[in-house]
Amino acid sequence: MLTHKPITNAFDLYSWFTLMRTTNPVTYDEDHHAWNVFSYKDVYQILTDPKTFSSHILPGEGFIETSILMIDPPMHRHYRNLVSQAFTPRRIAQLEPRITEIVDTYLDSVIESGKMDVIQDLSYPLPLVVICEMLGIPMEDRDFFGYWTEIVIAEFAKFQGGDLEAQQKLGAYFLQIADLRRKEPKDDLISALLTAQVDGERLSDRDIQSFCMILLLAGSETTRNLIGNAIYALTEHPEVLAQVQNNLELVPQAIEEVIRYYSPVRFAFRVATSDVILGGQQIKAGQLIFPWIASANRDEHHFTSAEHFTLDRPAQQHVGFGHGIHFCLGAPLARLEARIALTSMLQRLKCLRLSHEEHLEAIVSPSLQGLQKVPVYFQPG
Ligand code: HEM
């Protein structure tokens, strides 16, 4: 298993990032047999060049190893064109009323108490329910589905590849749903995946299984952390919180700044396909590389006052959703869920403040960044 520096404070890797960007921006880590890359310029170069920096880091034929996230061109382009036909911005935008309803139901159940844990009470369940609904998982299967999903997500977050039994259970389940939709299509994502076509080619059953699996993995913990990190960052910066509360149109800007400032995905992973010099260092073919997205997003050579949390930045320069051919396919969905959740919270929860009664602990994951709990107090608005 991969473990980087032990985390004592929730976001304490940032002082390490600053030190590394200044002293060792591309450095070999003997313990993990991998290169760590910290500057925006180098991270950007890696993400832009899939020919030299491959995403196919794990051998094997599992659903995750063969998913869109871990394959290279030309297969990647073909696969991405197919799934993009089903996972369209239009389909995402149509979810707005339903996501608003789900968020409001969660807030209704805590609002009178004047306190909540943003993670447990909202940002953990929200993306899972949304993905279930998108996929068309019937209500009666949600317990089974939730149980195995939690296991796959927990294993993946620890960067251990994934629990095989759980992957098989979920894979078999997705296949069952696909068979039902083939006979009787519905207006859901699996039905759309079944009919997607490029040059007469369609997705195989296996492709559909692996795409559904990666949606669960790539889309749930990340969005959970984005919403949690947003409330944490805003309560940590009351002047920005007030600015957004006075003008809710600023919520999308605040979300982009949170993704930059407390990036939910800390690093991506690549393997060098040939010998290459990066930041003056010789990387050899076959070596593993971690481009640290969270560090790139604080690089003072790219961002003015990078350590400052502010809404006055040109839009979307961060690499929080990656860059290039693997740019996050779910970014429109993550942005929509976060916008609705934050807008509703800022509208309905007045005098929002973080509870200082508990020590805030980081989640146990090298690659993702977030808090286990974000306890807040407020007055019902
Ligand atoms: C890819 C971040 C939410 C689905 C990526 C990548 C990043 C990322 C950094 C690129 C990885 C790489 O280059 O190796 C995030 C963040 C999110 C988020 C920060 C939330 C705040 C979502 C959601 C979904 C999703 C909600 C779908 C439900 C995907 C998929 C890919 C991906 C399918 C692979 C795309 C490809 O390889 O072509 N995401 N993601 N993500 N993300 Fe997201």
pLDDT in the model for residue 3: 37
* pLDDT above 90 coverage of the chain, percent: 77
pLDDT in the model for residue 226: 98
- 22 in a structural domain: yes
Residue 232: C-alpha distances to residues 110, 126, 168, 378 (Å):
18, 18, 36, 14
Q: Per the structure, how many domains does the chain have?
A: 1
ipTM of the complex as predicted: 0.99
State the virtual CA torsion across 37, 39, 41, 42 in degrees, nearest 10. -10
| Helices 205-219/142-157 angle, 10° precision | 70
Q: What is the mean pLDDT of the chain?
A: 92
- 5 in a structural domain: no
- 4 in a structural domain: no
- Residue 258 in contact with ligand 1 by CB distance below 6 A: no
pLDDT in the model for residue 161: 58
**CATH label of the domain that carries residue 280:** 1.10.630.10
Tokens for 165?
A: 């039994």
- Residue 149 in contact with ligand 1 by CB distance below 6 A: no
Q: 138-152, 187-201, 251-265, 285-299: which has the minimum mean pLDDT?
A: 138-152
Which of 125, 18, 9 is closest to 371 using CA atoms?
Answer: 9
- pLDDT of residue 7 exceeding 60, the answer is no
Which numbered atom of ligand 1 lies nearest the CA of 68? Answer: 37
* pLDDT above 70 coverage of the chain, percent: 96
pLDDT in the model for residue 18: 96
CA–centroid distance, residue 180 to ligand 1 (Å): 28
- Residue 228 in contact with ligand 1 by CB distance below 6 A: no
pTM listed for this prediction = 0.95
pLDDT in the model for residue 59: 81
- pLDDT of residue 5 exceeding 80, the answer is no
Which numbered atom of ligand 1 lies nearest the CA of 220? Answer: 26
**Sheet of strand 115-117, all strands in order from the earlier edge strand to the far edge:** 115-117, 375-380, 349-354
- Note whether 339 and 100 are within 8 A (CB): no
- 207 in a structural domain: yes
Residue-wise pLDDT tens digits, 32-45: 899 999 999 999 99
Confidence label for 4 from pLDDT (cuts 50, 70 and 90): very low
pLDDT in the model for residue 316: 63
Residue-wise pLDDT tens digits, 134-148: 998 888 888 888 888
Most confident of the following: 150-154, 157-161, 310-314: 310-314
Q: Taking phi first (over 0 means left), then psi (-120 to 50 degrees means alpha), and beta for anything else, what does residue 196 get?
A: beta
φ and ψ at 267, to 5 degrees? -145, 155
- 73 in a structural domain: yes
pLDDT in the model for residue 159: 58
- 6 in a structural domain: no
Cα 91 from Cα 76, distance rounded (Å): 22
pLDDT in the model for residue 335: 98
- Residue 213 in contact with ligand 1 by CB distance below 6 A: no
| Ligand 1 pocket, mutate which of 220, 328, 368 (most atoms under 8 A from CB) | 328
Q: Which domain holds residue 323?
A: 11-377
pLDDT in the model for residue 1: 33
Confidence label for 321 from pLDDT (cuts 50, 70 and 90): very high
Tokens for 275?
A: 């010998």
- 3 in a structural domain: no
The answer for residues whose C-beta is within 8 angstroms of residue 108's C-beta and 6 or more apart is none
Using the structure block, give the residue that is written with the tokens 């605040």: 254
- 131 in a structural domain: yes
Angle (CA) 339-344-350 rounded to 5° is 125
